[in-house]
Chains A and B, each alone.
Chain A
């Protein structure tokens, strides 16, 4: 079946360092979405990318969608303690696959002050 793989599973950084998480799909996606889950909370939508090669920025966060629409990355510049949490990518399947989202396993980010 369709899979979305996300690496790394865990990442510990010093505050101020950069952080990147990568997402790879076994099939071409219609879109990719990113979510953040704070400890003890539920996932919250961050952004959606739809176009091949698309890049979007939200303050210190940069999201990329690969040219083949099979991979994506989230890069955080100069991490802060407020960035702590688990980041999930979720791939939207092409039409004909009912549009359901396939989530990656998440990358848990720890930031040391």
Chain B
């Protein structure tokens, strides 16, 4: 069966520090991969979208970047975090059907 792993679950980072969140998918090949951010009490903001290795679409200009070094691995990064980067980050995958979400990472930038 397909599963999606996202870690860490919670992260507190100082302003200006780097960030690396990792997401891996098991049980499927060539999935579409997504990174979303959700501010407290708000909707899902699509940050990055990938249809294959090395293929990344950025949906909004921001302080973040994404990479897909392997078919089932999606990484969200930042060189220097801002206070405004705080939020709930969700990785998801789909295969042109329903989307499956990871458990999310709650990032607090202090």
Interface residues of A (CB under 8 A from B): 6, 33, 35, 42-45, 48, 88, 90, 92, 98-106, 108
Contacts and interface: CB of A to CB of B under 8 A. Distances in A.
B43 A45 contact: no
A90 B92 CA distance: 13
B96 to A, nearest CB: 4
A48 B44 contact: no
15 contacts: A42-B90, A42-B104, A43-B44, A43-B92, A44-B101, A48-B98, A90-B99, A98-B32, A98-B51, A100-B34, A102-B46, A103-B46, A104-B43, A105-B42, A105-B43
Interface residues of B, number: 22
B2 interface: no
A88 B44 contact: yes
Nearest to B103: A42
Given A42-B90, A43-B99, A104-B43, 14 more contacts: A33-B99, A35-B99, A42-B102, A43-B44, A43-B90, A44-B101, A48-B97, A88-B44, A98-B32, A99-B32, A99-B94, A100-B49, A101-B99, A108-B41
